[in-house]
Every structure is written in structure tokens, then in C-alpha cells.
């Protein structure tokens, strides 16, 4: 039973990939040379489920891990052997960890042949899915966006697929999309493996022909056999498949590779079938089908972004990244803006920042920061100034672009313009509310300012036409603008940690919104109230508020607010140990995010929450996969060093530590801390907290000297910067006490623990979880000192607090309960010890975790001493031995064996 305050954990779901099921004509293939029931390594063959150019695919049962898998057994082929291709496929896939990509378990050998074991999920190919029934263009785009995300992950790992087609994109029974069959994949920078073939000979256009890949979906450079191709070749095949799904036919006519190459080189596309596919979507597809790679999108990621629902996604991104550069580009193109009267209505965007983010306002906020006397005020101001200035310029640029899209370029309806302007006005109100708080900043506000400035939303969502059109209209009664201003004030209070204000202001605004039927404001306020209640650990009230938010959001068609509320509920259910419910809510969350056309920050947060969930369930592999996915999504959206990555990196460090990868945990926690320091400054409270986390990782990695140095520096910096969050001071004290205890300096250890309890009591009250956790750590020290009654007293207080705040079934109670049972055993009171130990083991098992070997050992002893079930006691001893062996704890194993020997000797006497 560990007593360290170490790394946290948070979670997400792993999607299971699919493999090809049938031959191109839909006819089930015969099973080659393998019969049902044959054993290959630790797999039992079940049935043949498909065949391709590389080999036959079987479903099989892995009896070592109790799961069904897909086994691909290779074929020999001309030129480059199937064996070599199979090895390449496994190596390529092993580089990937993404929910939209098939995952490989292992490569093995059967007789003289190789096989690959992959995840198996029941589902259909996109070709079969398209044939089932007519699909709307929105359904098609939703599927292909997910496939594109998987392909982008492959490209990021250096893998080019080279055979993208409808038969290699799969949809499982839950609707998740996977890209599979990387059998002809090429690692970037490697040599292509095309076989020689006759280019103008007739080929079957829906299966591999003379070249590696499928000619009907191959880019011109691939058909020509160019020695170097890149991800833009996959983009071409992707767009051929997308064209086919949208229009019911491929874009280029031709029966031979030569005919296909001629048609694609000339850009000779078929006239589209009479389908309701919007023009902006066709333009995206046509660009991806350009004959020259340089004329396509620079990457599949940018093509996927363009498919996000905004007819002018690329233009909008230009505006966000650099509105000034866009205007220069227009001028270079020969348009003199000053001379064109049509542009004048779009030139007043900057004036809307007056009194919100202009020179006088900035000067006043700067003065308020300095007047707070916070030692970090100057550094924090420079960071806040830079971040808010960027968001203000983005607001201005998007307002200008939105206006010109309607009034200058004529490519956007007036109705969509109104929706975008309404969205931008709301973001402007959020900016005003936050700067209002900064105008009266005290030291506590300064401490949260850098994070709040980054967390206030930018205008990116105002470019999502799907979300805006589906988001309903705001209330338009005379008091509606005032309600929206008050909503912005509540959001600003939430960002700066003023939870009491959020609850007071929120309650009043909800009452008014309900009275007038403003469900949209009601939904947003209830979401903020839920967030504040979570921070105050009023979890039941938070849950009620979030469900009210979802109901109001549904009534007002505000999909974005609904998605955020669902996301918060995933974490809330996890915290309340309602794991099955958390998984169900996660499914609803994923659907809510997809309903608004996708949202990378929300998708990253969902993956992170699922990572926490899996870790709490003891499923470390799934937790790791989801946290890595979260980090990948957020890196692509924000960049490698963005502050938003700190939390999932910290979570991943916790998973690494729990899995025994302690050095990896140190590196991950250090990266989290350094990335946060880059954005918030080295003395920000969040950075000092992560330095403590890094010290905890060092301690777990067996580096107490480095850990102590980290804790001491944290305390010194907290003192120097007059850190207002004294919890950051309490946490190092507890772990410094642990270091002293491990060194045998028990008096010093006890003093550190008592200091930590005093600080936590001062900050959070005597009945807080932080106090409870530290009391349980103090109990270890008191046991070592031989003060068993004092240890019991600390443990009773711990259990009382945790039972009240977490509920009697929370697995966190297992540590204190187990320790209390152990102390009763040490006091030779097995009857009392048995009850505590039974409850501790029960909570551990219920949470899906293995029994701690110490708990198993002591419970076996308690059962024996009280005349309990001897067969169960023997099973517990076996489990204890296994746990000690897995942890490399020879002492523990020896203690079990010695106790068993003594028991047998006593029984003989």
C-alpha cells in the first residue's frame, strides 16, 4: 500500500479497427489452407473472413488474452514477396496509435509463413456502406473526415498508404471509421516496391493490378511509377473514393492504366451526377484530384480541415493566422482596396475594440496588475497582453473577412453573415468581461490571469458554418443583450477562479432566462454553474446543473454547449466511480461533437477524459492509447508547446508510472512543466504545481535526492513569489516527509506531515480530501514509530472524511481501510482487522484493480486467525506472492513463505 502523493490520471476510449470482410463482389471467400479449429501460435482459427492481394484474413481467438482477433496469413506474389509486404505492413501499422487506424498486435510465424494479428471489429467497408442505401453528402463527409484523420496520423508517423479506396476504409457497428490494409504502405523516405507490369494492359480497376495499389484510385505520379511519392498521392486516392461516395461513380473514365493516366493528367473529370452536393464541396474534391501534387492541398490534414463544413475554410484560416497578410495579398493581386467603394462597409471592425482592448484599456490593466503587488505581475502582464492582443486581432480579422465574404466577394449568404456576426459579438463580450475583471485585479486574479487569457475562447468557432446554422437563434427580446453581457461576466468569473461569484450571478441569471424562455443563455449558465460546483466538489449539484444545461441546449439547438456539458459529465461520472455510466456518456459526447462538425479541442478533451477513465479502471494500455491520442489531437491543433498539452502529458506520466515506466514518467512530467512554463512563465502557480508533480515522479523513480531538491526549489519559489495557492506549498511538505521516512528520519518525517496537514486545514478546512490524504501518510510514520493508537486515530479521521465526501464505495478509501486493518492485526485484534481488510479488498476489486499484495497477505492472515475460509486464505496468499513477484519485492515473497511455514509448524504442534 503506497502512501506517496504522486501523479494523477485522466482518460478516453480506444476505437477498434476493422479488416476487409469479403471479396470485391461481396462473395465470401473460401478458407485457403486453414480449417476451423486449427491453432497458430496462441490463436485458434475460427473462419475465413476475407482475401486480398497479400493474403487470406481469418477471425481467430487469442486464448492467452481472451479476445477475438483478425489473422492475416500471407500469399506469395511475383517480384516483391508477400512475406516482405506483410512485414512492411506490420512495421508500418506498429508505428501508429490512432482510433481511425487499424492496430497490429504482433507478427508471428506459422510453418514457413508469416502472419499478422490485428484487432477485429465487426463492420462494413465504405463501398458496402454506400451500397446499402442513398447517403447524404453530410453523412459521406462525416465518414471521410474521420478516415482523413486516420490517414493524417499515418502521414505524421512517416507512413504513406498508397492504396486508399472504399474497400480499405471501414465502419464498425458503432459507427467508428477506420483506415486499414496498409499492406502496400511505404515508409516515407524508403524505396517504392512497385512491380513491373504492362501499363496499357486491361486491369481490374477494383483490385490490385500490375502495380502496387489499385489503379482506379492511384495518383498520376503513382501510375507513372515515379520513384518518389508522398502523402499527396494518398490525398488523390482519398478524393477519388470521396467522389465515388458522393456521386456514385469515380471521377475519371478509363479501362486501362494508360487511359486512367491520360484522363487524370488532363484533368478530364466526368460531369457530376445529378446529386445535391454543394459547389464548395465539389471544389475541395476537385483540388484533391489535381494532376500535379503541388496543386493539391499541402497535406491531408488541410484537406480534412476544408471538409469541416465552411465553404471558405482556407480563406477563414488565412484570416485567423494573418489578416494583415491577406489584405496585402489582395493588394498584390491588383485590387486597390481604398479605391473600391464596395469594401468600405467592412473597414470598421477595429473600432469595436474601443473600450475593450485599446491603448487606454491596456494601460489601465497594466497599472492594476502592478498595483496588486504580486511578484509575478510584470511578467504575467506581458504574457496576458500578448495573448489577448492576438485574440483581439483575430476577432477583427474574422469580422472583416465575414463582411467581405458577403458584401465584396458575394460568396456567403446574408443569413450566414448574421450568424457569424452574432457569434463574433458574443466572443467580443467575453473579451470585455475578462478585461473588466483584470481592471480590478488583486494578487489572486494576477495568479490566474495568464491561464484565463489563454482559456477565453477565440473566434475560430465562428467559422464553422454547420455549427452556426444548426445552433439556433439567440433570444431577441429587449433584455436579451443585457443577459448575454451578464453571461460573459459569469464566464470571466469562472476563468479567474471566482466560483462563489459564478454561483451567485448564475442563479439569478438562470431564473431570469427561464422566466423569458431564453434556453440558450440558460444552457450556457448552467454549464458554468456545473463547472464551479465541480471545483467545490459539490458533485451531485454539478451533475444536476449539467443535465439541465444539456436539456436547455437541446431546446435551443446549441450543439456546442451540449457537447461541452456532456464532456464535463464524463469526468464527473468517473470521479464518482460510475465507470459504466462514464463510458455511456462518452458515447453521447462523441456524437455531440460530431453533430457540430467536429471540434479538435473538444475531441482532445474527450480522449483525455477517457484516458482517466481507463486508468481508474486499471486498463493502462487503453489509458495510454487514449492519452496519446489526446496529445496528438491537441498538438496538431495548438502546436507542441501549447499550455493545453500540460494536463494530458501529466496524465500520461501517471499512467507510465502506474505501469512501472518510472523514468518515462519523469520525462513526461518534465515536458509538461517546461511547456507550461514556456507559455505561463516559470513562476506561474500551475508551473510550480507541475514542478511538485515532477518531484513526485523523481521520488517514485528512486531518485530521492533529486526529488528533495525539486521540492525545496518549489517551496523557495512559492515563498519568493508570495504564492497565494498554499496547496502548492503543502504538497511538497508531505512528500518531503515521505523522503525522510524512507531514510529512517521519523521525527523529521512526522514534522513535515504535520506541517502539510496544518496548511491544508488552513486552506481547505479540516475535513477536506487533502487533509485526509495527508493524515493517511502520517499514519505510516506513526506506525514506524510504534505509536499504533495515534496511527489508528489518524486513519479514523481519514476514513470519516473520505466516506463523507466520496461515498462509501470509492476506491480511494481502500488505502486507509487496509492500513487500519493492518494496524488492528498488529495489535492482535484480528476480528477488527478482518472487517477493514475485507472492505479494502472489495473496493479494490470493484474498481477493476488487482489486489495490493500487502492487502491480500494481511487479509489471509486475518481469515486464518479468525477461523475463516481457509481455501480463500490460500488463494489470497497465492495472489500476494504473485503481486510481490511482479513488483520484484523479494522481501514480501519471503515474508509470505515464512508466515506459511510458521503456520504449518504451529498446526502440526
Where do the DSSP E strands lie in 134-280? Answer: 159-160, 169-172, 177-179, 186-187
d(CA 522, CA 776): 42
d(CA 74, CA 53): 9
| Residue 163 bears catalytic tag | yes
Cα–Cα distances (Å) from 826 to 285, 829, 833, 852, in that order, read 73, 7, 9, 18
d(CA 152, CA 26): 29
β-sheet bridge partners, residue 125: 170
Sign of the CA dihedral with 765 first, then 767, 770, and 776 last: positive
Give the residue carrying C-alpha cell 489486489: 851
Give the residue carrying C-alpha cell 492594476: 368
Fill in the DSSP letter of residue 101: B
| Buried b / exposed e along 368-400 (16+ C-beta atoms within 10 A) | bbeebebbbbebbbebbbebbeebbbbbbbbbb
Fill in the DSSP letter of residue 531: H
Burial degree of 747 (CB within 10 A; 0-12, 13-18, 19+): exposed
Task: Give all strands of the β-sheet with 177-179 in edge-to-edge order.
Answer: 123-125, 169-172, 177-179
C-beta of residue 833 within 8 angstroms of C-beta of residue 825: yes
Sign of the CA dihedral with 125 first, then 128, 132, and 134 last: positive
Cell of 109: 510465424
Cell of 633: 489531437
Cβ count near 454 (within 10 Å): 21
* C-alpha distance across the termini of the chain, in Å: 34
d(CA 800, CA 807): 10
d(CA 855, CA 376): 47
d(CA 817, CA 834): 10
Fill in the DSSP letter of residue 13: P
Sign of the CA dihedral with 325 first, then 326, 327, and 333 last: positive
> Which one from 5, 62, 163, 194 is the annotated catalytic residue?
163
β-sheet bridge partners, residue 596: none
Q: E strand or H helix at 51, and its extent?
A: strand 43-51
Sign of the CA dihedral with 274 first, then 280, 284, and 290 last: positive
Cell of 827: 495489535
Residues comprising the chain, all counted = 909
d(CA 584, CA 599): 20
d(CA 297, CA 303): 6
Residue positions annotated with a catalytic role: 163
Amino acid at each position: 500500500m503506497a502512501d506517496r502523493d504522486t501523479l494523477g490520471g485522466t482518460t478516453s476510449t480506444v476505437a477498434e479497427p476493422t479488416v476487409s470482410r469479403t471479396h470485391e463482389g461481396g462473395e465470401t471467400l473460401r478458407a485457403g489452407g486453414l480449417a476451423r479449429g486449427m491453432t497458430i501460435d496462441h490463436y485458434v482459427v475460427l473462419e475465413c473472413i476475407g482475401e486480398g492481394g497479400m493474403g487470406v484474413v481469418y477471425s481467430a481467438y487469442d486464448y492467452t488474452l481472451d479476445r477475438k482477433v483478425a489473422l492475416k496469413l500471407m500469399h506469395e506474389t511475383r517480384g516483391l514477396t508477400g512475406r516482405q509486404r506483410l512485414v512492411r505492413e506490420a512495421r508500418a501499422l506498429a508505428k501508429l496509435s490512432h482510433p481511425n487506424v487499424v492496430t497490429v498486435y504482433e507478427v508471428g510465424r506459422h510453418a514457413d509463413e508469416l502472419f499478422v494479428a490485428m484487432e477485429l471489429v465487426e463492420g462494413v467497408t465504405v463501398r458496402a456502406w454506400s451500397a446499402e442505401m442513398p447517403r447524404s453528402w453530410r453523412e459521406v463527409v462525416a465518414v471521410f473526415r474521420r478516415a482523413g484523420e486516420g490517414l493524417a496520423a499515418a502521414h505524421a508517423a512517416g507512413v504513406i498508404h498508397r492504396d486508399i479506396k472504399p474497400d480499405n476504409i471501414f465502419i464498425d457497428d458503432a459507427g467508428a471509421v477506420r483506415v486499414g490494409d496498409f499492406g502496400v504502405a511505404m515508409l516515407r523516405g524508403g524505396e517504392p516496391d512497385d512491380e513491373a507490369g504492362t501499363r496499357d494492359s486491361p486491369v481490374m480497376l477494383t483490385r490490385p493490378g500490375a502495380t502496387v495499389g489499385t489503379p482506379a484510385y492511384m495518383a498520376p505520379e503513382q501510375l507513372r511509377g515515379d520513384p518518389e511519392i508522398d502523402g499527396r498521392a494518398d490525398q488523390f486516392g482519398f478524393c477519388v473514393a470521396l467522389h465515388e461516395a458522393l456521386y456514385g461513380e469515380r471521377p475519371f473514365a478509363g479501362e486501362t492504366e494508360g487511359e486512367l493516366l491520360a484522363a487524370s493528367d488532363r484533368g478530364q473529370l466526368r460531369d457530376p451526377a445529378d446529386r445535391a452536393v454543394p459547389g464548395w464541396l465539389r471544389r475541395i474534391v476537385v483540388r484533391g484530384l489535381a494532376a500535379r501534387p503541388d496543386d493539391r492541398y499541402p497535406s491531408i490534414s488541410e484537406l480534412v480541415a476544408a471538409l469541416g463544413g465552411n465553404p471558405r475554410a482556407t480563406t477563414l484560416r488565412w484570416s485567423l493566422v494573418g489578416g494583415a497578410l491577406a489584405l496585402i495579398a489582395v493588394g498584390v493581386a491588383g485590387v486597390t482596396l481604398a479605391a473600391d467603394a464596395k469594401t468600405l462597409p467592412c473597414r470598421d471592425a477595429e473600432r469595436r475594440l474601443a473600450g475593450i482592448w485599446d491603448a487606454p484599456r491596456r494601460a489601465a490593466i497594466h497599472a492594476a496588475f502592478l498595483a496588486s503587488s504580486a511578484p509575478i505581475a510584470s511578467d504575467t502582464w506581458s504574457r496576458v497582453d500578448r495573448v489577448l492582443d492576438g485574440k483581439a486581432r483575430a476577432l477583427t480579422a474574422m469580422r472583416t473577412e465575414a463582411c467581405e465574404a458577403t458584401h465584396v466577394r458575394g460568396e456567403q449568404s446574408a443569413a450566414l453573415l448574421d450568424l457569424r456576426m452574432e457569434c463574433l459579438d458574443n466572443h467580443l463580450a467575453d473579451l470585455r468581461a475578462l478585461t473588466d475583471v483584470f481592471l480590478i485585479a488583486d494578487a489572486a486574479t494576477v495568479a490566474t490571469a495568464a491561464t484565463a487569457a489563454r482559456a477565453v475562447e477565440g473566434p475560430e468557432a465562428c467559422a464553422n458554418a454547420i455549427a452556426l446554422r444548426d445552433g439556433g437563434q439567440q433570444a431577441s427580446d429587449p433584455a436579451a443583450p443585457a443577459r448575454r453581457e451578464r453571461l460573459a461576466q459569469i464566464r470571466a468569473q469562472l476563468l479567474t477562479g471566482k466560483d462563489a461569484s459564478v454561483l451567485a450571478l448564475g442563479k439569478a441569471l438562470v431564473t431570469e432566462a427561464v422566466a423569458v424562455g431564453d434556453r440558450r443563455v440558460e444552457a450556457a449558465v448552467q454549464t458554468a454553474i456545473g463547472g464551479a460546483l465541480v471545483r467545490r466538489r459539490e458533485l451531485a449539484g454539478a451533475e444536476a446543473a449539467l443535465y439541465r444545461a444539456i436539456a436547455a441546449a437541446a431546446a435551443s439547438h446549441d450543439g456546442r454547449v451540449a457537447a461541452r456539458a456532456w464532456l464535463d459529465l464524463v469526468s464527473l461520472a468517473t470521479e464518482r466511480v460510475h465507470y459504466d455510466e462514464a463510458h455511456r456518456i462518452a458515447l453521447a459526447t462523441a456524437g455531440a461533437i460530431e453533430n457540430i462538425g467536429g471540434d479538435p479541442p473538444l475531441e482532445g478533451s474527450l480522449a483525455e477524459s477517457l484516458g482517466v477513465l481507463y486508468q481508474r479502471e486499471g486498463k493502462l494500455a487503453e489509458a495510454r492509447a487514449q492519452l496519446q491520442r489526446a496529445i496528438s489531437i491537441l498538438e496538431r491543433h495548438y502546436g507542441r508547446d501549447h499550455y493545453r498539452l500540460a494536463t494530458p502529458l501529466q496524465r500520461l506520466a501517471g499512467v507510465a508510472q502506474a505501469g512501472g515506466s518510472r523514468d518515462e514518467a519523469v520525462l513526461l512530467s518534465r515536458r509538461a512543466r517546461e511547456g507550461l512554463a514556456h507559455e505561463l512563465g516559470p513562476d506561474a502557480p500551475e508551473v510550480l504545481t507541475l514542478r511538485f508533480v515532477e518531484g513526485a515522479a523523481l521520488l517514485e523513480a528512486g531518485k530521492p535526492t533529486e526529488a528533495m531538491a525539486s521540492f525545496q526549489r518549489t517551496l523557495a519559489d512559492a515563498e519568493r513569489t508570495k504564492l497565494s495557492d498554499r496547496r502548492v506549498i503543502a504538497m511538497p511538505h508531505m512528500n518531503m516527509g515521505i523522503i525522510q521516512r524512507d531514510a529512517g528520519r521519523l521525527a523529521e518525517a512526522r514534522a513535515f506531515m504535520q506541517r502539510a496537514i496544518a496548511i491544508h486545514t488552513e486552506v481547505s478546512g479540516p475535513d477536506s480530501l487533502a487533509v485526509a490524504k495527508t493524515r493517511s501518510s502520517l499514519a505510516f510514520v506513526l506506525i514506524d514509530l510504534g505509536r499504533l493508537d495515534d496511527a489508528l486515530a489518524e486513519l479514523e479521521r481519514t476514513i470519516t472524511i473520505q466516506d463523507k465526501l466520496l461515498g462509501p464505495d470509492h476506491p480511494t478509501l481502500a488505502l486507509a481501510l487496509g492500513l487500519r486493518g493492518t494496524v488492528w492485526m498488529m495489535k492482535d485484534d484480528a476480528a477488527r482487522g478482518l472487517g477493514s481488510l475485507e472492505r479494502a479488498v472489495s473496493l479494490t476489486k470493484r474498481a477493476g484493480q488487482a489486489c495490493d499484495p500487502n492487502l491480500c497477505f494481511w487479509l489471509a492472515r486475518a481469515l486464518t486467525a479468525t477461523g475463516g475460509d481457509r481455501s480463500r486464505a490460500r488463494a489470497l496468499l497465492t495472489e500476494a506472492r504473485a503481486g510481490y513477484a511482479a513488483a520484484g519485492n523479494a522481501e514480501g515473497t519471503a515474508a509470505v513463505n515464512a508466515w506459511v511455514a510458521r503456520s504449518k509448524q504451529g498446526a502440526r504442534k
